[in-house]
Chains A and B, each alone.
Chain A
């Protein structure tokens, strides 16, 4: 039954922040061909915290990279809002990432030569804008970064660095934020902190976040979890709790 599950139900089309349609990504050819994504269709709802889960190598990162405009599909299409990414050239996609997408990666998120504050407003600076000061202040307050703004990344702890990364992702108030295992390199205390901040960003500030993770506890902070296996959608879950997720994963493994 798994292969027929498509995670597109129940979302009002006007409320979709990003979606993929029959997205396939194939690496290599012939004998060594790898189908990292196999005709995946999925939508991410605006104002919601979504998680993508699945075993290692199931295509989570690939899906995220393709939907975020960092990589191109072999076939199928991807939309951010109403914009079809396959219609854009490199410059337009780059500008779209800058203005409409926020990123938090697992590690090496910050430019070492810039201060925390400069890192936060970097996407705005690249656009030549100063951004919405009040909003940026709210973001910085929410992430408790006020006393760290002048510091260089090398002077920040891992947790603080990830908070700066989250702040940067929020700074331009993007259409959607992608986070690839944002807590993967953190101790559990800092990881929990980050997850709480992301949750608040969605609940209190109305942002849209898609997070890739293989940690059930992390995934339980999301509103909805999409499960991936072998490049296909294997199922989904709403209002998750850690136990429910672990249960589901066990069931998937069988």
Chain B
């Protein structure tokens, strides 16, 4: 039986190629994303192992706050501890370390590095062997007027020793003379970041706060193990300093795992889309097996006739699936290697640069891809194989591809149940039932639509094809009939496109609503004329000194800064909105529910009204807020608001005297009457934009930009769904090819009685277009329904209204049309090559 299966598999090369193609595509994205995440994980592993290679112990403040992504932010460390540490037996060297925000201004006055992209750091250069930086040329900086640059930045900025370099940091912009160029361990610069390096006192004062560093790096003399060294250092440190000591291995592991947590969100996101692609691939595989199983009824009947029982016929097909599954998955894995590179390119193009060195291919990636691919292929073949086993020897006499008129009543009832269940799951997930319910809801809706497909595909194809039949005469009418003749096949062929389009549509609809929401919120709260903003992704921002300078400009009436800092509110780790209540009036207005915005003082807090309700807080309640510097402040609830980003608002004053460095992420500006746009922009740019800090925009521009941020994520989603669309196209191509093959005699007959090759092409092209439009239309309906369900259930959360993405929908339908045309090219060409004589002569 196995030999027979093998023979049968190889005998039909075309079928083999088509089926494997579906599997290759389905598995390639899976392996692509696996390789991609393995590669970046490995890159960071290596990077941090390199960075902390010579570090045996690591001392930092024990005061910390966890941010929303699970990484902890530590308070700065007093440099005095250095003296104590150096005296600990077993310590050979120790040095302060710092990675703070600092931006180097290039010779052309433009900053090096961008808001988005690799970070721009300021740090400490030291002669200590514990330091991470090694002098490459020149010498170490000494005192408040000297600095060093990493080699890559020096090369990019064409700086040489002796140049004067301008740098912007937390405490303003200064000029330094460049006295040296440094290497980071063995590399010129880690991951494309820029580094401005100073001696420790200068770095602390300029970048952070005098007397403080981020952490202290310690090298042992080799007499103690890292664990023993860390223990004795910790014992030597005074308890009231609230410092903690980690071994080199611990800090390496912690840093790596923090990065991996953040990357984890991203790789999960990618994996989700690769499973969507795989699911879509499944449909194509299932469809191909169904069609080929039907086409080889004769073959199966023949097997039965020569004595094979039902089970053997079924097993023969499953073995074939197994062979193709393994073959396809292996090829899919190889294709995935290329795809992982394409993914890096896509992310770069979207401005989400992720450093990667080389290519990491773990054996587990190969194994999981091949196993998943093979299992899925065999599973997709089960139903068609069972059907093939049930074939009666009589069926061999019948012509294939008869119209199947089934009773669809049960199908419709069952799908209705699925649809209702799905909608319920979706709605309840939006009302707090969680992601699981969202998943079940979405799966229910999709399953319902896919299940009802065969019951509606014939009607839909007839309706969509009606204009075609009108316009293109009999060729159009035949295309319409062909699209409608096998309702199950049509609906299975359209399914991948349906899924892709539904996802695209619901994301587009959701994005449109979110954009509307953003516009609304900013439109209501932001009342100024201009905004200066950064997209710093949680690192650095606009130094508050710049905000004050703008406020002091003669052209400016007033300017107020808004920042986000991680803090612990009660037991919840959150980014807290920091405002300056003295200057917000008329510039940044919260929609207050209770209390007044101006009531906010350094002892108060404002909380989003729903949040306050949920936490059982009312005006006058005391909320404990823990800052990074370790202070816990009992803040009094003085007001509640709604429709803003963020749940908590505090005053900038609470950071007075704190070691917590405070940046603004945007500055709202109101100008004096009569000042010209040109004048204002020039004045503000002189302070900010020339330093590469933020983007200065008018109110309208600013609101547009904020709304457009959604587009970046949307573009990423589109990019990831693109592969699913490719699989959908290939699915249509495969089905059309199989149909052309199946209708060989029909096409031969048409050619004989006078259908030209051009007419054949037209007929197949329109069949393809009708099928893909069927998928697209159903997908749009499903997508919009999901969008409405999601948005409507979010209304309470402040979502104003559902915005129908009209242009988006039209674009999708046009794309579906093009997809239909493109998918038909090869099958149509193949059809014109049908040999008339052999097809009409075969009986």
Contact = CB atoms under 8 A, between A and B. Distances in A.
Contact of A112 (B746, B754, B843): B746
Interface in A103-138: 103, 105-114, 118, 122-123, 125-128
Interface stretch (A76-84, A91-99, A222-230): A91-99
A190 to B, nearest CB: 17
B837 A71 contact: yes
Nearest to B755: A126
A154 interface: yes
B403 interface: yes
A113 B474 contact: no
B139 interface: no
A3 to B, nearest CB: 27
A192 interface: no
A95 B756 contact: yes
Interface stretch (B152-160, B371-379, B478-486, B732-740): B478-486
B745 interface: yes
B756 A94 contact: yes
Interface residues on B, range: 20 to 34
Contacts of A113: 403, 478, 481-482, 485
A114 B481 CA distance: 8
Contact of A103 (B746, B752, B841): B752
Interface string A140-174: 00000000000000100000000000001000000
A111 B750 contact: yes
B757 A97 contact: no
B745 A97 contact: no
A90 B753 contact: no
Residue of B754, B758, B759, B843 with most partner-chain A CB within 10 A: B754
B754 A123 contact: yes
A61 interface: yes
Interface in B798-843: 836-837, 840-841, 843
A35 interface: no
Interface residues on A, range: 20 to 34
A128 B750 contact: no
A65 B837 contact: yes
Nearest to A92: B756
Interface string B379-406: 0000000000000000000010011000
B754 A95 contact: yes
B473 interface: yes
Contacts of B757: 90-91, 94
What secondary structure prevails in chain B residues at the interface with A?
Answer: helix
Contacts of A122: 474, 753
A98 B753 contact: yes
B452 to A, nearest CB: 23
Residue of B474, B751, B837 with most partner-chain A CB within 10 A: B474
Interface string A63-90: 0010000110000000000000000001
A91 B832 CA distance: 12
Given A126-B474, A154-B403, A111 B749 contact: yes
Contacts of A71: 836-837
A105 B751 CA distance: 13
B478 A114 contact: yes
B482 A97 contact: no
B466 to A, nearest CB: 15
Interface string B485-516: 10000000000000000000000000000000
B829 to A, nearest CB: 14
Contacts of B751: 94
Contact of A108 (B403, B754, B755, B840): B840
Contacts of B403: 112-113, 154
B396 to A, nearest CB: 16
Contacts of B840: 70, 105, 108
Contacts of A105: 749, 752, 840
5 contacts: A70-B836, A91-B757, A97-B752, A99-B754, A126-B756
Given A97-B752, A105-B749, A112-B746, 10 more contacts: A61-B841, A71-B836, A97-B753, A98-B753, A107-B843, A108-B745, A112-B402, A114-B477, A118-B474, A128-B473
The 9 A-B pairs at the shortest CB distance, nearest first, are namely A98-B754, A125-B474, A113-B481, A94-B756, A97-B754, A123-B754, A108-B745, A126-B754, A123-B753
